[in-house]
Amino acid sequence: MNVADSERVSSALEHLGYAFSPVIEEADVIVLNTCVIRQSAEEKAYGRLTSLWPVKRDRPEVVINLMGCLVGIKDNQPLRKRFPYVDVFSAPSDPSPLVEFLIQRHAHETEKAETARRYAVMDGDLLLPHPNIGQQVIGWIPVVYGCSHACTYCIIPYQRGIERSRPAEEILKEAHSLAAQGVKEITLLGQIVDRYGLDQPGYPSLADLLKQLSEIEGIERLRFLTSHPNWMNDELLNCVAELPKVMPHIEIPNQSGDDQVLEAMKRGYTTEQYRELVQRIRARIPGVSIASDIIVGFPGETETQFQNTYNLLEELKLDIVHLARYSSRTGTVSERLLVDDVSDDEKWVRFRALEKLQEKIIREIHATYLNTTVLILFEEKVKNRWKGRTPTNKLVFVESEENLIGQIRPVRIRWTGPWSMLGNLE
């Protein structure tokens, strides 16, 4: 989501005449886009912000924009006081304050200013950073902003605001513009992406959107994330099963494998319901890969409750599990009402146990790809190899003299490990 938000800032700035600079010391404008999902992310954001102070001291004309969840959507006076060298504060997904600031400061020509304003409001016009045009294979389109679900541990609804879907025309327009700039794969984004359209006239669904996007020439692959077990429905599963461009990969976090913990998290489903859902997804979409998120050490999580999560993951054998240690976030229900009583050491023990289990599972799953031929979409060159992905979103590296960027090619898999695979072009 933050990558998508940053691309939109860059799109608006390109229209004011700015170009991307890889070197902070040479930049006239520095945008720090931030995440606060866990304490570690927040600390990193503060660390980067502090490191910008000498840059501003040495070159006071530099414009510093602090953006994203550290700023949030509410009053940010305390941040303004604490970081007076920041010129512009902006909420997640909102390039407008920066664009306005630059227009005022530099009195840009009216025409340029108007175009930049249009791009900043994210109404579907999107220009990739210049060097990326024709090079960027993967594009991201936010389709639902914010979240109204309020899982007890989660800060997102407070920082990103209530759930808002974007109008379908806007999304289609954006997808067309990405296709015209060489993008081959689009991932639709939302905190609960399957809830797309519930606040739009006529209730367009995510499946409707995927059908329409499938028609766009040049777009070869479509993905979406993140799903919520209560909102994943058969219409969507049918769509993944039937539309050739929609890739067989589902990101559907369960967060815990224990019913009491799930209840305390206010996730709204039981372990049994999650298990049935995984079975339903697998039955409907053969060869599908499934990813999940798990939080270990939620307040009050006992050894037995953790073991239930372990056992569930051992049974389900998911393709990816993003692991997190519970981190108390100011203002959330769990921070206000529960005690963060699982020690840091214990959280690490549980984290490592799941990490080890998952590594074993994923090794086994990947080994089934050995000596098979898979269609890989290539994204970029990393060192001397071309990096691409399978339809199931697994990383594959290939050596070739040819420039493979943007191509979909059959690849014979000849080595597999837990994090990636190696193959040869067929």
Residues at the site binding ligand 5AD, with contacts judged by CB under 6 A: 37-38, 153-154, 253, 255, 293, 295, 324, 326-327, 329
Give the angle subtended at the CA of 400 by the CAs of 397 and 402, to the nearest 5°.
125
Beta carbons of 159 and 111 less than 8 angstroms apart = no
Q: Tell me how far, at minimum, the Cβ of 400 lies from ligand 5AD, in Å.
A: 35
Return the number of the residue (298 or 386) whose C-beta is nearest ligand 5AD.
Answer: 298
State which residue, 127 or 252, has the beta carbon closest to ligand 5AD.
Answer: 252
Q: In whole angstroms, how close is the CB of 39 to ligand 5AD at the nearest point?
A: 8
- The whole-angstrom separation of Cα 273 and Cα 277 is 6
| Residue 28 near residue 55, CB atoms below 8 Å | no
CA-to-CA distance for 129 and 115, rounded, in angstroms?
A: 16
Single-letter amino acid, residue 227: S
Contact criterion met (CB below 8 Å) for 223 and 249:
yes
Comparing CB distances to ligand 5AD, the nearer of 295 and 354 is 295
Nearer to ligand 5AD, 296 or 404 (CB): 296
Q: Cβ distance 394 to 421 under 8 Å? A: yes
Q: What minimum distance in Å lies between the beta carbon of 202 and ligand 5AD?
A: 30
Q: Closest separation between CB of residue 392 and ligand 5AD, Å?
A: 20
| Of 172 and 324, CB closest to ligand 5AD | 324
* Minimum CB distance to ligand 5AD smaller for 254 or for 416: 254
Distance (Å) of CA 410 to CA 127, 287, 378: 31, 17, 11
Looking at beta carbons only, is 83 or 153 nearer to ligand 5AD? 153
- Within a 13 Å sphere around the CA of 63, how many CA atoms are in the beta-carbon half? 19
Q: CA 315 to CA 278: how far, in whole Å?
A: 11
Nearest to 321 by CA among 308, 312, 330: 312
CB of 152 to ligand 5AD, least distance (A): 9
Q: Smallest distance from the beta carbon of 253 to ligand 5AD, in angstroms? A: 4
CB of residue 153 to ligand 5AD, shortest distance in Å: 4
Q: From CA 191, how far away is CA 145, in angstroms rounded?
A: 7
Determine the Cα–Cα distance for residues 8 and 362; give it in Å rounded to an integer: 35
